[in-house]
Amino acid sequence: MKAVLLGVGQAGGKLTTALAQFDADAGYGAVLDALAVNTAAADLDPLPLETVLVGQSRVNGHGVGGDNELGAEVMDEDVVEVLDALAPKVTAAAEAVFVVAGLGGGTGSGGAPVLVRELNRVYDVPVYAVGILPGRDEGTMYQVNAGRSLKTLVREADATILLDNDAWRSAGESVEGGYEAINASMAKRIGLLLAAGEAVEGVGESVVDTSEVINTLRAGGMAAVGFASAPAAEDPQENVTTVTSAVRSAVMTGLSLPSATDADAALVAVAGDPDRISRKGAEKARKWLQEETGSMQVRGGDFPLDSDRIAALVLLAGVERSQRVEAFLERARQAVRDEREETPDPAAAFENDELDDLL
């Protein structure tokens, strides 16, 4: 899928950079171009991307300090500047625009829904959001911000792909300490999803096509991406279990939103040397995915790659009924209640109604 990326806020800019880098290093050519937007000049400076600093008249380049309402307001005021900078990048080749942001902060959390809404008005191609959820140990403000941002994004975007910081938290390691590794791992999932539709030369008959990725995401709402790989034998007949276990691991342990396995639609791409991919394994894996997700709509195909490993990339769409999402939303609601108790002013409590829309 030829995509243009728009990173909003600190996490959005960093993940967009990692994603563009992943695509360039692998030579997939799925990322057409990328732009980073922020209210904080210091967060834009280190990025090797074209950037737009918004809200200068309001916050003078110092950021919105975790205030996502201010983030939304500022983006609304300066949205034309962002659209103007993005316009030359969204060429006729573009098949989608991805707005990437951390949902727990201020600029990305408030700004991403505004940008998604505006982009959807301007462009005919789908506009997807890629949202990073705060880990459960992050503070109340992050949970509240993410809850409201997510609710609004799901309404405005064609689909919202969720990346949960907790999915990458290994025991004893703080989320902050591991951002670089987390971003690389997140970038790999999204990067492969974009690349999966970019058919390669010498392809077999069952290659995943961009339209299948788009059709899977048509289920709308929230989506998750899983990945896992394993060494493969040269003889495809020996790789039945390699394929089925890779798909299983991608869903059970490699998903960007853990346990979000109840889905409306799914896509499974088996990546590797087409001569090594077991057809029987791919077919079995697809049936398993159908049962596991409860979805009748499971698309599948190969993603030909020059590798001695076999990898599985799984896209699950319409995962909002899953326990993980419910647990996150409950965390966000509880955080709203906690915040309200801290501010017993009835007027403020009225303003802070549980998980209001942001726009």
Binding site for ligand GDP (CB under 6 A): 9-12, 14-15, 43, 102, 104-109, 132, 134, 138, 142, 165, 175, 179, 182-183
Q: Which of 153, 159, 296, 132 is nearest to 222 (CA)?
A: 159
State how far the alpha carbon of 73 is from the alpha carbons of 32, 238, 303, in Å.
29, 57, 42
| 106 annotated ligand binder | yes
For residues 108 and 254, which CB has a smaller minimum distance to ligand GDP in the complex? 108
| 183 annotated ligand binder | yes
| 204 annotated ligand binder | no
For residues 102 and 301, which CB has a smaller minimum distance to ligand GDP in the complex? 102
Q: How far is the CB of 50 from ligand GDP (least distance, A)?
A: 18
For residues 188 and 299, which CB has a smaller minimum distance to ligand GDP in the complex? 188
Q: How far is the CB of 19 from ligand GDP (least distance, A)?
A: 12
Block residue for tokens 């940008």: 115
Question: What DSSP letter does each residue of 171-234 carry, written as one string?
Answer: TT--TGGGHHHHHHHHHHHHHHHHHHTSPPSS--SSB--HHHHHHHHTT-SEEEEEEEEEE--S
| 157 annotated ligand binder | no
For the four alpha carbons of 214, 210, 257 and 27, in that order, the dihedral sign comes to negative
What radius of gyration do the chain's Cα atoms show? Answer: 20
| 40 annotated ligand binder | no
Q: What is the DSSP letter of 125?
A: S
Tokens of 174: 């703080």
Tokens of 260: 């979000």
Q: What is the DSSP letter of 62?
A: B
Q: How far is the CB of 249 from ligand GDP (least distance, A)?
A: 21
Q: Which of 226, 262, 263 is nearest to 247 (CA)?
A: 226
| 171 annotated ligand binder | no
For residues 105 and 254, which CB has a smaller minimum distance to ligand GDP in the complex? 105
Q: What is the DSSP letter of 135?
A: P
Q: How far is the CB of 328 from ligand GDP (least distance, A)?
A: 12
Identity of residue 272:
G
For residues 183 and 322, which CB has a smaller minimum distance to ligand GDP in the complex? 183
| 16 annotated ligand binder | no
| 13 annotated ligand binder | yes
Q: How far is the CB of 338 from ligand GDP (least distance, A)?
A: 17
For residues 29 and 139, which CB has a smaller minimum distance to ligand GDP in the complex? 139
Please answer whether residues 276 and 310 qualify as being in contact, where contact means their C-beta atoms are separated by less than 8 angstroms.
yes
Query: Residues of 107-143 as b/e, b for ≥16 C-beta within 10 angstroms?
Result: bbbbbbbbbbbbbbeebebbbbbbbbbbbeebebbbb
Q: How far is the CB of 203 from ligand GDP (least distance, A)?
A: 33
Q: How far is the CB of 179 from ligand GDP (least distance, A)?
A: 4
| Coarse DSSP helix, strand, coil percentages of the chain, rounded to the nearest 5 percent | 45, 20, 30
For residues 113 and 301, which CB has a smaller minimum distance to ligand GDP in the complex? 113
| 239 annotated ligand binder | no
Residues tagged in the binding site annotation for GTP: 10-14, 106-108, 138, 165, 183
Residues tagged in the binding site annotation: 10-14, 106-108, 138, 165, 183
